[in-house]
């Protein structure tokens, strides 16, 4: 396999002291050193990154089947693995797989994907499964397409287990919806009624509206479910206006509201998480990683304004504002400077 260096000048800056041992025989969380790295972490085109942890190994899955992994963020190397299969037996003849979300349900990894091309009149969402994040992946086929579910531009799946149920959020600038899946997450729970059962949780139904949202991502942190969505233009190079908003709810199905209790079913709503600055354009389409200390890190793509050769991958820690909403420091990406990353106990 080809190993390529994607960090620039990444440093292995561990604490000089050795880890101590907690009284229960395990390593104390405080003694696990934070990883140290620089953004962008992957300097290659890998849009819509889904970050996944399996033991000590981090994987990033992106549009068009791209896959990278690292066993240690400090060393600055991501190994590029063979693409996940890009050809499936349904959808438009010239389809590609976009915006994966990779989730473990039971003892199986589910790779949810969009099947689409630009201006596709009937894109949809399918799933592949594997016992290993490195495959082989077995395509289980289509879960639904836009016409069947009654949602235009049905792409960008996000799947989450909650209280014994499996839910999918999806959609792109024509309303973000949720629907329940089967226990194994490979089919609609109620195929005959899903188009009526789906729940609008953000945006508006109608023509394309960049003031609404796509790339939905939901995770429960503490007492709240947090909904992240991307607004603006994703793919215009250094002129991209993509940015990320967040809202929260006590229920997975919403309503998701901002700090003023305004729900996300409208335009230009939510609290700002990250936006463009002088270094990075169009940051968005996120996934989250929780470390061993319980801190959360946001993985997302963006254009490096000094090397705009595709959508590179970034990783930054979430911090919390005075109203209890997550954001990046200064609402902008960190860039080409050493930052402290996730605490992962590589010894255990």
Mean pLDDT value of segment 251-280:
97
E strand or H helix at 309: none
Look up residue 313 and give its two tokens: 């991958």
pLDDT computed for residue 146 by the predictor: 96
pLDDT digits (tens, 9 = 90+) for 184-241: 999 999 999 999 999 999 999 999 999 999 999 999 999 999 999 999 999 999 999 9
Determine the straight-line distance between the first and last CA of the chain, rounded to whole angstroms: 27
pLDDT tier at 163, thresholds 50, 70, 90: very high
Question: For residue 46, what pLDDT is reported?
Answer: 98
What is the enclosing helix (H) or strand (E) of 5? Answer: strand 3-5
| Radius of gyration for the alpha carbons in the chain, expressed in angstroms and rounded | 19
Write out the two tokens for 74: 């400090």
What are 111-137's pLDDT values in tens digits? 999 998 888 889 999 999 999 999 999
Query: What pLDDT is attached to residue 347?
Result: 62
**CB burial of residue 20 (10 Å; 0-12, 13-18, 19+):** exposed
- In DSSP terms, which residues pair with 288 in a beta bridge? 298
The percentage of residues in the chain with a pLDDT greater than 70, rounded to a whole number, is 90
CA distances from 87 to 98, 126, 139, 141, 193 (A): 11, 12, 10, 11, 29
What's the pLDDT at 131?
97
State the Cα–Cα distance between residues 102 and 227, nearest whole angstrom.
17
What is the per-residue pLDDT for 83?
Answer: 95
Q: What is the mean pLDDT of the chain?
A: 90
Mean pLDDT of 266-273: 97
Question: Looking at the predicted structure, is the pLDDT value of residue 18 above 70?
Answer: no
* Residue 3 confidence class, pLDDT cut points 50, 70, 90: very low
Residue 5 has pLDDT above 50, yes or no: no
């Amino acid at each position: 396999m080809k190993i390529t260096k994607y960090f620039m000048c990444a440093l292995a800056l561990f604490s000089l002291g050795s880890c101590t041992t907690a009284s229960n025989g395990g390593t104390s969380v405080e003694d696990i050193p934070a990883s140290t790295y620089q953004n962008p972490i992957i300097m290659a085109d890998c849009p819509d990154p889904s970050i996944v942890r399996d033991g000590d190994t981090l994987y990033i899955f992106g549009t068009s089947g791209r896959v990278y992994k690292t066993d240690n963020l400090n060393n600055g190397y991501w190994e590029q693995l063979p693409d996940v299969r890009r050809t499936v037996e349904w959808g438009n003849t010239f389809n590609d797989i976009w915006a994966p979300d990779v989730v473990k349900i039971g003892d199986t990894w589910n790779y949810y994907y969009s099947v689409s091309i630009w201006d596709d009149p009937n894109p949809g969402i399918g799933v592949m499964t594997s016992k290993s994040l490195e495959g082989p992946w077995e395509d289980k086929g289509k879960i639904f397409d836009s016409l069947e579910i009654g949602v235009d531009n049905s792409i960008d799946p996000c799947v989450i287990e909650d209280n014994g149920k499996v839910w999918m959020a999806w959609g792109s600038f024509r309303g973000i919806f949720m629907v329940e899946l089967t226990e194994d997450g490979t089919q609609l729970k109620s195929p005959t009624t899903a188009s009526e059962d789906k729940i609008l949780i953000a945006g508006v139904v109608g023509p394309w509206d960049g003031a609404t949202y796509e790339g939905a991502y939901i995770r429960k942190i503490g007492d709240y479910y947090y909904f992240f969505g991307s607004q603006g233009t994703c793919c215009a190079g250094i002129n991209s206006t993509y940015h990320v908003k967040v809202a929260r709810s006590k229920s997975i199905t919403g309503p998701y509201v901002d700090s003023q209790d305004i729900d996300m079913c409208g335009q230009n709503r939510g609290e700002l998480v990250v936006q463009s600055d002088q270094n990075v354009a169009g940051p968005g389409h996120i996934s989250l990683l929780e470390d061993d200390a319980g801190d959360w890190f946001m993985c997302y793509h963006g254009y490096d304004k000094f090397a705009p050769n595709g959508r590179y991958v970034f990783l930054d820690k979430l911090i919390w504002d005075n109203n209890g909403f997550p954001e990046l420091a200064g609402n902008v990406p960190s860039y080409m400077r050493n930052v402290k990353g996730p605490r992962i106990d590589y010894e255990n």
